Structure 1
């Protein structure tokens, strides 16, 4: 996989990081999990995965995210690929901005951009949300709260020709990763074919 940005989007506990790690291990893509930025601030304010995060924290986190995206666009090697993760909600203007800034970063790099929307059953979420690993990584561990978010806050609406939607409940992470990689490679081939014709 060459100069590709895969953006994994889904509600809390859907398996974004697990799948992202598999993609990175298979392809050599560089992983930018949203908690790499979040936890710089979360660790300092003692975010516990259950209580509301102070509004001011998100401004600080956005600064960190933007510096990371600048590094991707201006410093990372041209052939590098990246896999990013996030829970982006349709009712939050900041989440739309976050998505648009990733799209802009892909454009600056001339990268193949592949938005991936992951979903899972309520039962799968119920098992995954209250895990010790999530608590250690300062992620939401309140299963009832996460279920409320899934019910009341749909994911960001995205219309992109490379979008793929995958249901992760009954698929092992390795298979989800394999399907995403195959899709990303197909998108890259389509672009290459189109450029060769024009």
Structure 2
């Protein structure tokens, strides 16, 4: 049976790096939030109606492709969806609907990081030129905001402050493979 894994966290905590490590171990596909957002960033002013329209259109197309995948696929989505914004809640609801339409279990993973380590990670050179936020001052605000997430046995939160991406991925693969 297929599964949908939703890795949510503030920009810079390591979502994509961890998702890629997990994908290797689970033979999964990764759909990074930037694969969806970069069209909006390239063609519209950030947070303008045109930006949101572009992102919705790409998200819809991507999710339609996921609906066509074989039943045994595992798809990992990365996101930076905050529960205190209408946009974040809209994206979370789209993920929930996708899992329901696919009839796949949805595993909700929230990644957290100590603000000092988060500031160090967000300015990393590897983020440069990839449309990724690199503003260390934004960390203070982001760490205070609630992230969209599910409740229940298919939801976990992981503090990745002192963890290498590979270690975080191993722990999450174990959790996904052996839910309590």
Structure 1 stretches of 4+ with a deviation exceeding 4 A read: none
Instruction: Provide the residue aligned with 2:26 in structure 1.
Output: 27
Q: Which structure's CA Rg is the greater one?
A: 1
Structure 2 CA distance for aligned equivalents of residues 97 and 136 of structure 1: 27
Q: In 1, are the aligned partners of 2:127 and 2:134 still within 8 Å (CA)? A: yes
Q: Please, what is the CA RMSD of the aligned residues? A: 1.7
Given the two structures, how large is their TM-score scaled by the length of structure 2? 0.92
Instruction: Provide the residue aligned with 1:39 in structure 2.
Output: 38
Cα deviation, residue 157, structure 1: 5.1
Deviates more, 1:131-140 or 1:80-89: 131-140
Q: How many residues align?
A: 179
Structure 1: any 5+ residue segments left out of the alignment?
48-52, 191-198
Q: In 2, are the aligned partners of 1:20 and 1:31 still within 8 Å (CA)? A: yes
Structure 2: any 5+ residue segments left out of the alignment?
none
Instruction: Provide the residue aligned with 2:55 in structure 1.
Output: 61
User: SS in structure 2 opposite 1:84?
Assistant: strand
Write out aligned runs for 1:79-90 (5 A): 79-90=72-83
Write out aligned runs for 1:1-198 (5 A): 2-45=1-44, 53-56=46-49, 57-73=51-67, 75-151=68-144, 153-156=145-148, 158-187=150-179
Q: In 2, are the aligned partners of 1:103 and 1:113 still within 8 Å (CA)? A: yes
Q: Deviations over 1:72-129 (max 9, x none)?
A: 11x1111111011011112112211211211221122221210001001111111111
Q: In 1, are the aligned partners of 2:149 and 2:155 still within 8 Å (CA)? A: no
Given the two structures, how large is their TM-score scaled by the length of structure 1? 0.84
Q: In 2, are the aligned partners of 1:9 and 1:88 still within 8 Å (CA)? A: yes
Q: Which has the higher helix share?
A: 1
